[in-house]
Structure 1
Amino acid sequence: MNTALTLPVGDAILGRVFNANGEPIDKKETLENVTRVPLATPEVLNKTASTPTRLLETGIKTIDLMAPLAHGGVVGLIAGYGVGKEVVTEEIMQHLFTKCQAIGIIAGMRETTYNASSLYEMVRESELEDRITMFFEQITEDQAVRQRLLHAAMTAATHFAENGREVLLLIDSQVISKAIMADVRQFANMSGITTLVLVPVDDQHQPQDRALLAELDAQLWFSQARAREYLWPAIDPIASNSHLLTSETVPAEHQQVAQGVRETLQRYHELRDRANHSSLNAEERQILARGEKINLFFTQPFFVTEAYTEIPGTYLMREQTIQSFRDLLNGRYDEMPIEKFKFVGEIEA
């Protein structure tokens, strides 16, 4: 590792794209009189690691109820193609930028050039470009380059955080090794910077290395089945989970509602797959009906898709989300038509 390497930091790098050495690759104006600092690594940071405990509200029902996030946590978005992971990423960024005035740092490694990557396209088309810095390299087997790319992004993120800015670090690489994930985990614990990792999957939509999952505080599993049914966001509410749901950070009521929803949905899918619904007893029919409403209520219009869907985006506070799903479990909405639950924010009686 080249410890003598220095990188540009500060507001001057926002809206720019750099390689792993901190050199601009976006053909924009030359950086002059910019602050430069040594490359940051977990060893250089040398800070006491801490466990993230402060809840991070996203306004997205599936995440806030079933896989709650924490400031300074490491979140995995486990998804293949065509399931909307970039849209969910953009929605999370939009909320953080709006509510917390956050800065976004992206570390990307793809087969394409940076300006052909889906994340760069997302940034360019949004109104977020002047709040984001991207570090990008085309995919390589050189482990040193991979780590240097990550450490360059860490350097920029740390400088903003140390100057009082809320920072979101996003890692999008087609190849993520155990060593890289260990660095990500250690860095997040030391810096307190929230980190999103787009976890690569294979043809069976499984992570290329399941050992990577152990480094995640929360796992957002995306579902091909939900995407095929146009149930957006296509985050699987059963498979997705968070360490916070078994900690004192999340109130007991939240844990109970999340567990009740998970069990009801599991039973709902079992009953829905039965060939003969006429054989269901009264209790099973009730579970099937409530489960269908819960399943649909996880859909939600996003702010970042308003221009395409012409449906206003919705943001639900965590307390509203918990209350709504508790009422669904308790049968408050048993008589309400099913269409009232699809692509809505709050339930309107």
Structure 2
Amino acid sequence: MQDQLSLNVSLLRRRVPNLTTAAKAVGLRPATVSNLCTGKISVGRAEVRTLVTLANLANCSLDELIIQGGKLSMIETGIKTVDLFAPIVKGGINGFVARAQVGQLVVLAEITQNLKEKGFETILLAPDKEFTGLSDLEGFIDAKVHSIEDAFAEVSLRDEKAKVILQVDRSFVVSGDLYQLRERFEAEGYPDITTILFDPSGTAVDEDDPYGPLDTMCYFDIDLASRGIYPAIHPVQSTSLLMEEDSLEDRHSKVNRKAKKLLRRYKEIRVLLNSLGKDKIPEADLELYAIGERLEAYLSQPFHVAEEFTRIKGERVSVQDSIIDIEKILSGDYNHLKPVELKFRGRL
């Protein structure tokens, strides 16, 4: 495990909850700050002035701001699109960005169910207001609370705190309560608690920076949902610090990059097909489009928590099996199959 320099993002979040806004007010570009926090810009490439300004904002020294540590690790969920394109960072802050009714709560429920079998316990820090689908999630969690005090108490009761998943409504991010809670965890010497932020109201998608800096952002796509492709996770727009910091196996990272590149082009060709027609599209692009269709179909997946509604047996797929399948799809090994034959399957 190679050591590397990175920002102490946890400290920044606690001391400057509205980081991008505060950074802009003192002359820093919000995009630069966000990219430093996610690892898209390495600390070694950052201007000294930027680092000093961030340290001043957080009222800390440069030694406190810049940390040297090992690589991050992921928690495998068995969900193809999550593990390949938006892997959950262990001990990190992971965020779901979605319109209402596109399936984010179903994905949360499936993650909860799958991880329970690995010994994880899930605590839901829920809003007081009721949202459609939120009550369905309660059947899979271990505890539901409405305040950070109760959330702290529930985490304190767990013997294996490193195997706690804290699911948090966005309102606790906006209020700054989440960062107070994480500060209490740190003060007690608890390990970093894996946190998944969600927004049942569907309004976060309209914000430029819905949660502040995240370790992983899982972005949901209303177009996929409208075409009945679930989970409706956007593989191109979803991002993870794990990818930026090369914290995953090389094969995983390569497949991620190749698949994103192809899907990006596939979406462009799809727009042209709809406007110009098939006859105006070069043959090479049509071949890429066909592979993109197969890959998009393969990334759909039947969930255990939805079996009652879909009448399809749920499937978990290991990240290694997903990588092998996608490599074969990209290389054309499944060109003899129609996209519909790859839809709502587990491993091939």
Question: TM-score, length-normalised on structure 1?
Answer: 0.72
Q: Which amino acid aligns with 1:212?
A: Y
> Who is 1:166 aligned against?
163
- Aligned pairs (5 A) from 1:1-349: 53-100=72-119, 102-112=120-130, 118-123=133-138, 126=139, 128=140, 132-136=142-146, 149-161=147-159, 163=160, 166-174=163-171, 176-177=173-174, 179-183=176-180, 191-199=191-199, 206-208=205-207, 210=209, 212-214=211-213, 216-274=214-272, 275-347=276-348
Looking at structure 2, the residues matched to 158 and 168 of structure 1 have their Cα atoms a distance apart, in angstroms, of 13
In the alignment, structure 2 segments of 5+ residues that lack a partner are 1-66
Q: Would the aligned equivalents of 1:61 and 1:316 in 2 still touch at CA under 8 Å? A: yes
Whether contact under 8 Å (1:73, 1:188) holds in the other structure is no
Q: Is the contact between residue 106 and residue 133 of structure 1 (CA under 8 Å) also seen in structure 2?
A: yes
CA 1:194–1:207 in structure 2 vs 1: closer, same or farther (change >3 Å)?
Answer: farther
> What are structure 1's unaligned runs of at least 5 residues?
1-47, 137-148
After superposition, the Cα gap between the structure-2 partners of 1:334 and 1:58, relative to the gap in structure 1 and judged at 3 Å, is same
Residue 134 of structure 1: how far off its partner (Å): 1.1
Distance 1:256 1:213, change over 3 A: farther
Q: Distance in 2 between matches of 1:278 and 1:181?
A: 54
Task: Tell me: CA distance 1:117–1:177, structure 2 relative to 1, closer, same or farther (3 Å).
Answer: same
| 1:165 CA displacement | 7.1
Instruction: Give the aligned residue type for 1:168.
Output: I
Distance in 1, matches of 2:97 and 2:70, equals 22
Q: Kindly tell me the number of residue pairs found equivalent between the two proteins.
A: 276
The Cα offsets for residues 137-174 of structure 1, whole Å up to 9 and x where unpaired, read as xxxxxxxxxxxx2243133214314x567211111244
Distance in structure 1 (CA, Å) of the matches to 2:345 and 2:98:
24
User: Please, which moves more after superposition, 333-342 or 235-244?
Assistant: 333-342
Alignment root-mean-square deviation, CA: 2.7
Q: Cα offset for 1:223?
A: 1.2
Query: Is the CA contact (8 Å cut-off) linking 1:52 and 1:71 kept in structure 2?
Result: no
Deviation at 1:241, TM superposition (A): 1.2
Q: Secondary structure at the match of 1:75?
A: strand
Equivalent-residue separation in structure 2 for 1:280 and 1:211 (angstroms): 38
CA 1:170–1:51: 2 relative to 1, 3 Å: farther
In the TM superposition, residue 206 of structure 1 has moved relative to its aligned partner by 2.1
Q: Is the 8 A contact 2:108 2:137 kept in 1?
A: no
Equivalent residues of 1:175, 1:200 under 8 A apart: no
Corresponding residue SS for 1:311: coil
CA distance in 1, matches of 2:196, 2:176: 17
How big is the shift at 1:234?
A: 0.9
Greater percentage in helix: 2
Letter of the 1:305 counterpart: A
Q: 1:175 to 1:74 in 2, by over 3 A?
A: closer
Cα distance per residue 1:211-266 (max 9 Å; x no partner): 6241x111111111111111111111111111101223201221111111111111
Percent of counterpart pairs with the same letter?
A: 26
**Deviation string, structure 1 residues 165-215 (Cα, Å, up to 9, x no partner):** 721111124463273354466578752321111146766x6254616241x
Match in the other structure for 1:40: none
Q: Which moved more, 1:274-283 or 1:178-187?
A: 178-187
Aligned CA distance change for structure 1 residues 256 and 52 (closer, same or farther; 3 Å): closer
Cα gap change, 1:207 to 1:167, in 2 (>3 Å) = farther
TM-score, with normalisation over the residues of structure 2? 0.72
Distance 1:226 1:154 in 2: 37
| DSSP-derived class of the 1:235 partner | coil
